[in-house]
């Protein structure tokens, strides 16, 4: 029985898939997915996606397999336009995009020798009306890829708003429209996100005015929201709650062993999710009992003593649960495709175990445990300089926020012993 026949009951359905011009390539890819133990529902959804990709590429002029890579990005945008409106959730749209992206490129890697793929994002907003915008942001302003993605996100929202109210040209945009867009955004976004959106819009409108695309500089219509320094408290949890989180992890399964180590690393060393993502087997110095963190902010590294609890949990995970792969990364996905765990997934792991432990905290995630680590060091009486060095703060101001919750020091200050405290 062929791969397709094992997933479809009706022979006509198998014939229809095989009859498409990518039928043989789709069947080869399905055989690989079956060997990697993908679920039946995922494979059926993938077949539909790849069939749709082949039909669209052919309608847009693809005549051979070598023509397909140039149609990937256009297909992903088309795919979201057709299927993304079925859910109002931004997260669901991202899942749809990731599925289509992963499996289209996965098939191309299989059938096209030398195809490397790459990170593809949705088509950038205002690409036709302002084609030089993102070249300006990357080339002249020197923005990183992560910052560019932030601009794509905020400007796409503006583009969709203008399309919805019937504005076809940027020269028609008025201060009243800008205010209406910001008022609508404020109903969905928090203060920090609104401040970020305002900064993006001001730069965008200044650029339009310099290029002569608008008669007036509309950046003045974007109000600057007030944001007070150190106005918020770190979202740390108590050490008793940390123990509840760790106790909630079922370490009998491989995924439980992995998650337990990740939680320990976050709360013991105050690591960021990107630092956990970058860990490799070479960073664990078993002989000297040290843990190396090479990928910190500011391009510096740190070497921590390898605690007994972390060392034992790491050893158990690597020995019994980590996939046997040539890749040197420490942490991997637990379900196909088996790949190094991304920093976003690490934050989601922390958030999930916080919820399962019944601990309510605003925006719970990996930084919750990082804040907890710092808070424990503050409570232990370490200086802010030592704490900042330990957790890799680039600026002393990042550590000073914890002074607001140094309860014992504040109590002494209130009782008049300020000289000793300061």
Is 374:399 a contact under the CB 8 Å cutoff? yes
SS3 of the chain: CCCCCCCCCCHHHHHHHHHCCCHHHHHHHHHHHHHCCCCHHHHHHHHHHHHHHHHHHHHCCCCCHHHHHHHHHHHHHHHHHHHHHHCCCHHHHHHHHHHHHHHHHHHHHHHCCCCCCCCCCCCCCCCCCCCCHHHHHHHHCCCCHHHHHHHHHHHHHHHHHHHHCCCCCHHHCCHHHHHHHHHHHHCCCCHHHHHHHHHHHHHHHHHHHHCCCCCCCHHHHCCCCCCCCCCCCCCCCCHHHHHHHHHHCCCCCHHHHHHHHHHHHHHHHCCCHHHHHCCEHHHEECCCCEEEECCCHHHCCEEEECCHHHHHHHHHHHHHCCCCCCCCECCECCCCCCCECCHHHHHHHHHHHHHHCCCCCCCCCHHHHHHHHHHHHHHCCCCHHHHHHHHCCCCHHHHHHHHHHCHHHHHHHHCCCHHHHC
What is the C-alpha separation between 147 and 124, in angstroms, rounded? 13
What is the C-alpha separation between 392 and 395, in angstroms, rounded? 9
From 361, 330, 154, 166, select the one nearest 258 (Cα to Cα): 330
What is the C-alpha separation between 150 and 148, in angstroms, rounded? 5
Active site residues: 272, 297, 367, 370, 393, 402
Q: Which residues pair with 293 in a beta bridge?
A: 302
Q: Which residues pair with 144 in a beta bridge?
A: none
Give the CA angle between residues 136, 138, 140 to the nearest 5°.
50
Per-residue tokens: 13? 């359905």
Is 270:386 a contact under the CB 8 Å cutoff? no
């Amino acid at each position: 029985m062929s791969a397709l026949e094992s997933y479809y009951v009706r022979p006509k359905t198998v014939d229809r898939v095989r009859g498409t011009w990518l039928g043989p390539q789709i069947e080869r890819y399905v055989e690989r997915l079956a060997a990697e133990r993908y679920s039946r529902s995922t494979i059926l959804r993938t077949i539909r996606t790849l069939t749709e990709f082949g039909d669209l590429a052919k309608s847009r002029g693809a005549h051979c397999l070598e023509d397909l890579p140039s149609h990937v990005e256009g297909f992903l945008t088309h795919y979201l336009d057709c299927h993304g409106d079925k859910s109002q959730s931004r997260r669901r749209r991202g899942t749809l995009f990731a599925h289509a992206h992963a499996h289209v490129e996965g098939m191309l890697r299989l059938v096209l020798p030398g195809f490397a793929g790459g990170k593809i994002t949705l088509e950038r907003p205002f690409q036709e009306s302002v084609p030089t915008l993102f070249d300006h942001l990357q080339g002249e302003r020197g923005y990183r890829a992560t910052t560019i993605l932030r601009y794509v996100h905020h400007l796409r929202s503006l583009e969709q708003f203008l399309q919805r109210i019937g504005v076809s040209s940027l020269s028609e945009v008025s201060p009243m429209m800008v205010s209406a867009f910001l008022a609508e955004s404020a109903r969905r976004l928090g203060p920090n996100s609104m401040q970020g959106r305002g900064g993006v819009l001001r730069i965008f409108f200044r650029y339009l005015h310099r290029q002569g695309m608008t008669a007036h500089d509309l950046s003045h219509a974007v109000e600057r929201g007030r944001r007070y320094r150190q106005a918020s408290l770190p979202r740390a949890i108590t050490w008793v709650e940390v123990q509840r989180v760790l106790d909630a992890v079922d370490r009998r399964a491989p995924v439980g062993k992995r998650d337990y180590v990740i939680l320990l690393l976050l709360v013991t060393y105050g690591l960021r999710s990107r630092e956990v993502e970058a860990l490799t087997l070479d960073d664990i110095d078993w002989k000297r009992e040290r843990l190396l963190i090479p990928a910190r902010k500011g391009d510096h590294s740190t070497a921590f003593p390898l605690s007994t609890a972390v060392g034992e949990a790491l050893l158990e995970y690597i020995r019994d649960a980590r996939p046997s792969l040539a890749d040197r990364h420490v942490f991997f996905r637990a379900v196909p495709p088996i790949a190094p765990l991304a920093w976003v997934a690490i934050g989601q792991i922390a958030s999930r175990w916080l919820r399962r432990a019944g601990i309510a905290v605003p925006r719970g995630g990996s930084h919750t445990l990082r804040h907890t680590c710092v808070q424990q060091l503050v409570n232990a009486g370490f200086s802010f300089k030592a704490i900042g060095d330990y957790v890799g703060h680039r600026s002393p101001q990042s550590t000073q926020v914890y002074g607001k919750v140094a309860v014992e020091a504040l109590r002494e200050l209130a009782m008049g012993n300020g000289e000793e405290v300061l």
